[in-house]
Amino acid sequence: MPDIPRDKSPDSTLSLLKEGYLFIPNRCRRLGSDIFRTRLMLRPAVCMSGPEAAREFYSPGRFTRKQAVPKPTLMLLQDKGSVQTLDGEAHQDRKRMFMSLMTPDAVVRMGDALERAWRARLPAWEGMDRVVLHDEVQGVLCRAACDWAGVPLDDAELPERTREFGAMVDGAGAVGPRNWRGLMLRRRTEKWARDLVERVRSGDLPAPPGTALDVIARFRGKDGGQLPPDAAAVELLNILRPTVAVHRFVTFAALALHQHPGTRGQAAEDDRYLEMFVQEVRRFYPFFPLVGGRVMEPFEWRGHRFGRNDWVLLDLYGTNHDPRTWKDPGRFDPERFVGWDGSPFNFIPQGGGDFGRDHRCAGEWITIELIKRAVRMLTTAMRYDVPRQDLDVPMSRLPTMPNSGFAIAEVKAA
Ligand code: HEM
């Protein structure tokens, strides 16, 4: 059987930086294949795209996330000892801790925390000439995330923490200064999180029972031991940092409301439509382009033999735009979710497979709730104008956003 096609270039790192989210989809289309070989950062890699590829990628026990992303990205988004770097039983044990924080009640509480923080910030926005949502919503989410997680944070500390979390996500796909800034700020944030864990454990800081800070500080794994303070700090950041990162989806949701004004009324009034609108925001707009894995158990797919330790990249963005699942994928259309089959492999903005068993994002329900609440705030709690600005979303920037950050003006509470 012929092996899979190969990307012509001896090393495609520069093309990845240039084409960004479109790197894998462009090649899949050109090569007429869901799978191809390439070289990135001088290492051989196999890229795959589409729902069938996702099903293979999320087959239990096949891939580890260890050494599966470039080191600078790892340092910003996962770090040593985090749930992402665990496999098998150890992973499931730690993942249970995360999923125990995601009960329906807890998800609603996170939404409530966002609304409180949003309303508290609204008077300041009324006094500003321009409110850049990409920047401002980070602060709102940082306040909401800390309140929800039982993390004390006074107002004076808020801008600094917000900047740190934002820089970690912003620098993750970057090479050079954007990445170094994230790394530098990360060290400070880790120390802060470690102190919180140690203070809870010593009884110096009473964390409200059942909050993320309380659960993580007191979690005992199967071996009966508590997490080392560094690992507990990393897991606390694994909740706070990505919650703040939801500001990117919120910014895109605001962009969608602006560019598709017909959606606004329904999103404000109809809960079922709002849910579909939010799903379409997560499908349509680019966030994480791909996830990486290394093969643990050799297997074969599409005539290609995956050997132990092979490096494989699954295309998240391209799978969410795969025309075999999504008719006219470049059109923003919330109604397309009316007939969606709910597959965990064809709509994977936050990874796929099973929440408990696989590495699928632990925060997906929270993400959906937060975007919903933000859309409700934008459509019912305030009025605003959208001044002329550069709303292009460059596909080469990882992660990307509208160039202007989406500015609004003349904000008035409704
Ligand atoms: C894992 C995306 C929000 C917590 C992941 C993965 C992706 C992702 C792509 C890796 C999936 C894999 O390796 O197969 C996103 C995006 C978000 C988001 C785009 C939007 C901002 C959140 C939130 C939380 C969270 C709000 C927590 C409150 C986690 C955790 C993992 C994870 C703990 C590791 C899961 C594991 O290894 O089992 N996320 N995420 N994420 N995410 Fe998210």
* 51-62 burial code (b ≥16 CB/10 A, e <16): bbbbbbbbeeeb
191: exposed, middle or buried (Cβ count in 10 Å: 0-12, 13-18, 19+): exposed
Q: What is the distance in A from the centroid of ligand 1 to the CA of 367?
A: 9
- For the record, the structure tokens of 68 come out as 């599966």
CATH architecture label of 13-413: Orthogonal Bundle (1.10)
DSSP β-bridge partners for residue 226: 220
- Residue nearest (by alpha carbon) to ligand 1 atom 23: 363
Q: Whose CA is nearest to atom 39 of ligand 1?
A: 361
> What is the 363 CA–ligand 1 centroid distance (Å)?
6
Please give the pLDDT value at position 73.
58
Residue 74 CA to ligand 1 center (angstroms) comes to: 13
Whole-number Å distance, alpha carbon 360 to ligand 1 midpoint, is 7
**Count, residues in the chain:** 414
Q: Which residue has the tokens 């029972």?
A: 209
Residue ranges, the chain, pLDDT below 70: 1-2, 70-79, 170-182
* Contact indicator for 122, 379 with CB cutoff of 8 Å: no
Site to probe by mutation for ligand 1, drawn from 138, 241, 361 as the one with most ligand atoms within 8 Å of Cβ, is 361
So what's the pLDDT on residue 177?
66
- Give exposure, 208-236, as e/b (b: 16+ Cβ within 10 Å): eeebbbbbbbbbebeeeebbebebbbbbb
Average pLDDT of the chain is: 93
The total of other beta-carbon atoms located within 10 Å of residue 309's CB is 11
Going by their DSSP bridges, the two strands 43-49 and 63-64 should be labelled as unpaired
Ligand 1 centroid distance, CA of 130 (Å): 31
Domain ranges of the chain: 13-413
Residue 78's pLDDT is what? 58
CB 117 within 8 A of CB 144: yes
Distance CA 76, CA 164 (A): 11
Q: Which residues pair with 63 in a beta bridge?
A: 295
Q: Which residues, in sequence order, are CB contacts of 186 under 8 Å at separation 6+?
A: 75, 76, 79, 164, 168
The ligand 1 atom at the shortest distance from the C-alpha of residue 314 is: 14
Answer yes or no: are the C-beta atoms of 18 and 304 closer than 8 Å.
Answer: no
Query: Residues near 57 by Cβ (< 8 Å), separated by ≥ 6?
Result: 48, 63, 291, 293, 312, 314, 352, 353
Ligand 1, atom 31: closest residue by C-alpha: 361
- Identify the three-state secondary structure at position 35: strand
SS3 54: helix
Nearest protein Cα to ligand 1, atom 6: 361
Shortest-distance Cα residue to atom 25 of ligand 1 = 363
Using an 8 Å Cβ cutoff, are 326 and 349 in contact?
no
Ligand 1 environment, Cβ below 6 A: 65, 83-84, 95, 98, 238-239, 242-243, 245-246, 249, 287-288, 291, 349-351, 359-363, 366-367
Burial of residue 260, with CB atoms counted within 10 A of its CB: 0-12 exposed, 13-18 middle, 19 or more buried: middle
The whole-angstrom separation of Cα 397 and Cα 174 is 8
For ligand 1, atom 7, name the residue with the nearest CA: 350
Q: Is 17 exposed, middle or buried (0-12, 13-18, 19+ CB in 10 A)?
A: middle
Site to substitute for ligand 1 among 165, 216, 350, most atoms within 8 A of C-beta: 350
Identify the pLDDT of residue 198.
97
Tell me if residue 94 falls in helix, strand or coil.
helix
Tell me whether residue 374 is exposed, middle or buried, using C-beta atoms within 10 angstroms of its C-beta: 0 to 12, 13 to 18, 19 or more.
buried
- For residues 164 and 31, what is the distance between their CA atoms, to the nearest angstrom? 41
343 Cα: distance to centroid of ligand 1 (angstroms): 18
Residue 238 C-alpha to ligand 1 middle, in angstroms?
8
Measured CA to CA, the distance from residue 332 to residue 256 in angstroms comes to 8
Which one-letter amino acid corresponds to residue 33? S
**DSSP-assigned letters across all residues of 106-161:** HHHHHHHHHHHHHHHHHHHHHT-S-EEHHHHHHHHHHHHHHHHHT----TTTHHHH
Measured by CA distance, the residue closest to atom 21 of ligand 1 is: 246
DSSP for 356-373, written as a single string:
TTS---TTHHHHHHHHHH
As for the ipTM of the complex, it is: 0.99
The one-letter amino acid code at 278 reads V
Residue 185 confidence (pLDDT) = 75
Please name the residue whose Cα sits nearest to atom 41 of ligand 1.
363
